[in-house]
Structure 1
Amino acid sequence: MPVYNLKINGTSHKVEAEQDTPLLWVLRDHLDMVGTKFGCGIGQCGACTIHVDGSAVRSCLLQVSGVEDMEITTIEGLSKDTLHPVQEAWKEIDVPQCGYCQAGQIMSAAAFLNQNKNPDKKEIRDAMSGNICRCASYNRIEKAVELAAGKLS
């Protein structure tokens, strides 16, 4: 079985896995980074969103063989010593209900706000539309992204 060198949250990891193993399962099953959630397995819900080289991507769709030498960030590595401004905003607005989708929501919001520091409501809705929340916390998610944008600017 091949061995892959992955840089995740600033740390190098050697992982033995089949080349077509989804990165989601490498994170969860091989490295015990369970903050990234399995939702649908087909890239439609956003629960498994992580950052690869700063862009939000669905880890269930990425094969481990395709991410060597890339910078991978999971919810566990979004912020080192304190909460990321998006996480602070999530807490202040009290966004989660069940919480299952929240790591993916936060990762999508953080990547979006890295690209757009001063979004309007439509841009926020459009950016977050790929993440499904079964509890329908969309209004609080939108408010939290607005608050986080203010914290980041």
Structure 2
Amino acid sequence: MSSILILVGTESGNAQMVGETLMDEFSAKGHDVDMAMDDATLDGLDLPARDVLLVVTSTHGLGELPDNIIPVHDALGEEKPDLSGLKYGVIALGDQTYSDTFCKAGKTMDALLAELGAHKVGERLEIDACTQPLPDEDALTWGEEWLAQLG
């Protein structure tokens, strides 16, 4: 079983709902799961010591990261830790009516983790608020497939 950290970036609570749903589901399957959201810091997350990271983030404004995940993103960009021992996945929430910035926060985190050497597992899940009012349903289906790919 894997030790999984779910890092949530949220403004309105939808990404938090997805993170909590997946935490419950993964825990029920025997995985050791923690969730970080409020007051998350890079030091507190200790990513180099982790096995698996799942980023669940919404996008707001003109493609910005949610306020609560900005400190982690900025610290990763500044400190550039070696994350070559980390597997990760990304669930990005957005609104396709903003086509230029759809799921941009998730794409931003995905690119940064790859740049730092982390190994992406599966494809990024992009959830459109216009077509999926209950994002946790899509996330559950994706999460089962993602867990199977972790090996």
**Which TM-score band applies after superposition, normalised by the shorter structure?**
under 0.3
TM-score, normalised relative to structure 2: 0.28
TM-score, normalised relative to structure 1: 0.27
More strand by share: 2
More helix by share: 2
